Structure formats: structure tokens, C-alpha cells
Amino acid sequence: MKKTIQTKDFQKLAKSFDSFVKVRNYKSGKGRMYQNTLTEFLTWLEEIGITKIKDVTTKESLKYYEYLIARPKLRGEGTLSQQSIKFHLFVQGLFLVNLMENKEIENGYYIPAYSGGIQNPRNILSVEEIKVVYQNCENQMEKALLSVAYGCGLRRSEINALDLRDIQLNSGMLIVRSGKGSKRREVPMSDTVMKYLKKYILEERNQKLVGKSQMEEAFFINSKGKRATGENLNEILKKMIEQTQKYELIQKDITLHCLRHSIAYHLTENNAGIDFIRSFLGHSDINTTYIYAIKNKKRKPIVTF
């Protein structure tokens, strides 16, 4: 039986969203899929007792994500396909953009990222868990890796390509020379991040180059004095997680990309401006950043650990 929206406020929002997607030509070839998908979300909110969109938080967003994973197909056996779940999350992102543009909400909420097998919410570390990982680092390279992956939100490929010249301690900026889409960006470093990167350079990186080529440009180098690969760096992170001896952390299967998701989530929770988050993460599409949407335009300090 097809569900209908009961709350007048939600009916109004659904009508506004219908106009929103029509104006942007999102509905081409999709019929009423956008509206039906939003209706399912809004009726789900009603069923759990939420009738005001301002009451929706990250907690409800993650619960809805879990609902989608377990939801049976309307036709046939089994649960929703990955493609269907991806579409549901995409519609939620568009709906959030619509809410922000119409000033229906003061603060946004996190929508789980999806990438070829959904990014499970459990793979986002809390600030306290980040602190635990840092406290169990055994050397300066581990601290530096945590600093650029979490503290600067870099992608694994960006960390791998990082050169010594890209760490500009005088200006407090980290330069990503070729990010996704070959785009250059400057990432502000907190005092904490700069402290750990400087210590790695002076106390460990330089030591690894003793008796080897001093011309190596890579920021992260292996024991042979050569550029560390992305696989090397993920292995180092895995070792760092195991050093915590925290079962709840180890079972999360944390990767460098999980740390990037974590800082995005924490920036959102701390009301960093949407423009800052977009620039910080290197998103070319504003809709991607709206997944971590918030209203406050004022730049806030990056979460430290």
C-alpha cells in the first residue's frame, strides 16, 4: 500500500521539492521517482514521531540509512539494490539543498557518503577516538600521517603525491597541487597539525635520508628513503589502529578515506561554513559538500586532537 504524507508542513516541503527538481531538470526520465523517494523519507519521519523538519538531526539521518539497507524491495525478493540506496541518498542531498536555499532549517545534518558499496556510518571516528589513535602513535611519521589525513582532510592519492615543498609552515598552508580533477587547492593547517609535521620533518624524515639521496621530494618516505605508496600509508594506519588495542576501533576497518569522512563530519558538527568545507575538502560540486551541510558561513577552527 502506497504511503501518503500526513503532516501539512511536510506536504508543503514535498511540493516545494517537486518544483525544485523540475526547475533543475532532475526529473528528466525519472517520472515521479524523486517525489516518491522523498515521500518515503518524510513518511518514515512521521512514523518515528518527527513532524518538523527542524527536528531532523544526524542521528535520524543515520537511522534512515540503516532502514534503507534493511528495507525489502517492493517487488521481488531481497533488499534494496546498491543503486537504489544510492538514489535515495542522492535525493536526500537534493532535499537538503532545497531546505537550505529556502531557509527552512538553521542547521543541516550529515548524510552518509556512498561509494560502490556504501560507506558504513560506523567507519566515521569520533573526536575522542581520533585522540586515542594519536595518543598511541609510536613515531613522528604516524602523527604526521594522522595530521594530513584527518587534520587536513586529504584523499589517499593526495597524501601519496605530497611533496616536502607543499608543506608551507611559514604561511600555515598545505598545498595540494593535483587534487581530484587535477585541481590545485590550499588547505589551512592548525597549529597542532603544523607542530606534528615540523617534528616529522626535523626528527624523522631527515634521519631516514642519512646516507641516501637528499634529492627525494616526497613528504612521506619509506625506510629506503623513497616515496611511500598509498598501500604503505594505509598499512601504517592499520598498525596505528591496532596499537590502540581498542576492539571497537580495530573492527571498524579504518582507512585513510575514513579519516577524511571523519573530519568532514566533525567540521559540520562544529558549524564550519559550507564554503569553507567545500574549499577544505576540494569538492568541485557544491551538492557534494551539501551532504555535510550547515548554515553558518563563519569560518571556525578545525577540530584538533
When pLDDT is cut at 50, 70 and 90, the band that residue 181 belongs to is: low
When pLDDT is cut at 50, 70 and 90, the band that residue 182 belongs to is: low
pTM of the model: 0.59
pLDDT at 146: 96
Check whether 53 has a pLDDT greater than 80.
yes
Q: Which member of 109, 134, 265, 292 is catalytic?
A: 292
β pairing state of 167-168 and 185-188: unpaired
CA atoms within 13 A on the CB side of 302: 25
Comparison of pLDDT for 287 and 90, the residue scoring more: 90
Contacts of 129 (CB under 8 A, 6+ apart): 246, 249
Among all chains, which residue has been given the C-alpha cell 576497518? 253
pLDDT at 27: 59
* CA 9/CA 235 separation, integer angstroms: 50
Cβ atoms 96, 17 nearer than 8 A: no
* CA 137/CA 146 separation, integer angstroms: 9
Domain ranges of the chain: 8-102, 127-298
Whether 261 sits among the annotated catalytic residues: the reply is no
Local structure of 101: helix, strand or coil: helix
pLDDT at 278: 72
pLDDT at 105: 87
Question: Of 12-16, 77-81, 174-178, 180-184, where does mean pLDDT reach its minimum?
Answer: 180-184
For residue 227, the 8-state DSSP code is B
Give 262-283 pLDDT, tens digit per residue.
Answer: 888 788 777 666 667 777 777 5
* CA 214/CA 47 separation, integer angstroms: 64
pLDDT at 167: 96
**Helix locations, the chain, DSSP H:** 8-23, 33-47, 58-70, 82-101, 127-135, 140-146, 156-161, 191-200, 206-208, 230-243, 247-250, 256-269, 274-281, 286-289
Check whether 285 has a pLDDT greater than 70.
no
pLDDT at 179: 63
Check whether 197 has a pLDDT greater than 70.
yes
Whether 155 sits among the annotated catalytic residues: the reply is yes
Whether 88 sits among the annotated catalytic residues: the reply is no
Q: What is the mean pLDDT of residues 65-92?
A: 85
* CA 254/CA 248 separation, integer angstroms: 11
Q: Which cell is 226 given?
A: 623513497
Burial track 212-233 (b if 16+ CB lie within 10 A, e otherwise): eeeebebbbbeeebebbeeebb
- Whether domain 127-298 has CATH 1.10.443.10: the reply is yes
* CA 301/CA 189 separation, integer angstroms: 10
Q: Which member of 88, 260, 261, 266 is catalytic?
A: 260
pLDDT at 297: 34
Q: Which member of 185, 205, 257, 261 is catalytic?
A: 257
Whether 184 sits among the annotated catalytic residues: the reply is no
Whether 292 sits among the annotated catalytic residues: the reply is yes
Whether 205 sits among the annotated catalytic residues: the reply is no
Check whether 160 has a pLDDT greater than 50.
yes
Local structure of 209: helix, strand or coil: coil
Backbone angles phi, psi at 216, to 5 degrees: -60, 125
Give 217-235 pLDDT, tens digit per residue.
Answer: 999 999 888 999 999 999 9
Give 33-45 pLDDT, tens digit per residue.
Answer: 899 999 999 999 9
Q: Which member of 109, 196, 283, 290 is catalytic?
A: 283
Torsion of CA 199, 204, 210, 216, to 10 degrees: -80
Cβ atoms 140, 203 nearer than 8 A: yes
Q: Which member of 143, 155, 185, 261 is catalytic?
A: 155
When pLDDT is cut at 50, 70 and 90, the band that residue 117 belongs to is: very low
Q: Which member of 180, 195, 238, 278 is catalytic?
A: 180
Task: Centre a 10 Å sphere on the Cβ of residue 150 and count the other Cβ atoms it contains.
Answer: 26
pLDDT at 70: 85
Backbone angles phi, psi at 176, to 5 degrees: -100, 105
Cβ atoms 270, 291 nearer than 8 A: no
